[in-house]
Amino acid sequence: MLSDGAGAIVFGGASGLGEATARRLAADGARVVIADLAGERADAVAVEIGGAGAEVNVLDEEAVAAAVEEAAAAPRGLRICVNCAGIGPPGKLLGREGPNPLASFRQIIEVNLIGTINTLRLAAGAMVGNEPDEEGERGVAVNTASVAAFDGQIGQVAYAASKAGIAGMTLPLARELARSGVRVATIAPGIFDTPLLATLPQDVKDSLGAMVPFPPRLGKPSEYADLVAAIVANPMLNGETIRLDGSIRMAPR
């Protein structure tokens, strides 16, 4: 398996989808570096899974490079990069008093889209130097978009744009890195039970889950991690954005 004895790095790996993924990759035999703004939590999870934690802002080139270097120190080099870091505060184009501040839109685009590009370019740069496996594969990157990329709701202008950008760059990146044996895929989750929703009352979460055709509930972070593991294991999964959403299609609001 690609993950067995390999170095892996999970950005945003201290909680939610990222934490579940870090735990799954470690269980599958990878040495995982958990890179997250929440450095103490990253360290705590790393201790539990036998990995390493790193306090990282995905826009900080030096911090990302250092975390990638640590992951690449694994015996088989860095083989797996998963991008789960992101933010999603709501924001309409126009507020009650006119156009909303540009800075709020810029921050979401920078963290979600530019941050993903930053981690990808450095991780891929490390992967291309790996010894290829029997199929010529040197690594795989899995990014996180959202169903908002395809049916974003009112108030998700920047968030939907950032996630659409991640989905949109998946195929050209896969084509570019194919010659080096590095795959790129993206997961577009629907409504998942993550820390982002943890503060909501249970009846509200139940209501959100009931919007999903089947299964009529919130997604579990472990189900996201399962899909990451499937992408890692299957070399034909490349250049694709996969919706993981129970067939939900979001209403305008």
Residue 198 resides in a domain = no
pLDDT in tens, the chain (253 residues): 566 789 999 999 999 999 999 999 999 999 999 999 999 999 999 999 999 999 999 999 999 999 999 999 999 999 999 999 999 888 999 999 999 999 999 999 999 999 999 999 999 999 999 999 999 999 999 999 999 999 998 999 999 999 999 999 999 999 999 999 999 999 999 999 888 777 667 876 777 788 899 999 999 999 999 999 999 999 999 999 999 999 999 888 8
Give yes or no for a contact between 19 and 43, defined as CB atoms under 8 angstroms apart: no
Q: Is 32 helix (H, G, I), strand (E, B) or coil?
A: strand
In the prediction, which pLDDT does 82 show? 98
Structural domain including 69 reads: 7-190+224-244
Residue 208 resides in a domain = no
In the prediction, which pLDDT does 3 show? 65
Residue 156 resides in a domain = yes
Give yes or no for a contact between 218 and 208, defined as CB atoms under 8 angstroms apart: yes
In the prediction, which pLDDT does 194 show? 86
In the prediction, which pLDDT does 99 show? 95
Sequence-distant (6+) residues with CB within 8 A of 144 are 12, 17, 82, 83, 84, 86, 166, 186, 187, 188, 189
Residue 233 resides in a domain = yes
> Whole-prediction pTM value?
0.95
Catalytic-labelled residue, pool 18, 23, 157, 159:
159
Whether 159 is a known active-site residue: answer yes
Residue 235 resides in a domain = yes
Domain count, the chain: 1
In the prediction, which pLDDT does 41 show? 97
Residue 200 resides in a domain = no
Residue 97 resides in a domain = yes
Q: What CATH number has the domain bearing residue 42?
A: 3.40.50.720
Residue 253 resides in a domain = no
End-to-end CA distance of the chain: 43
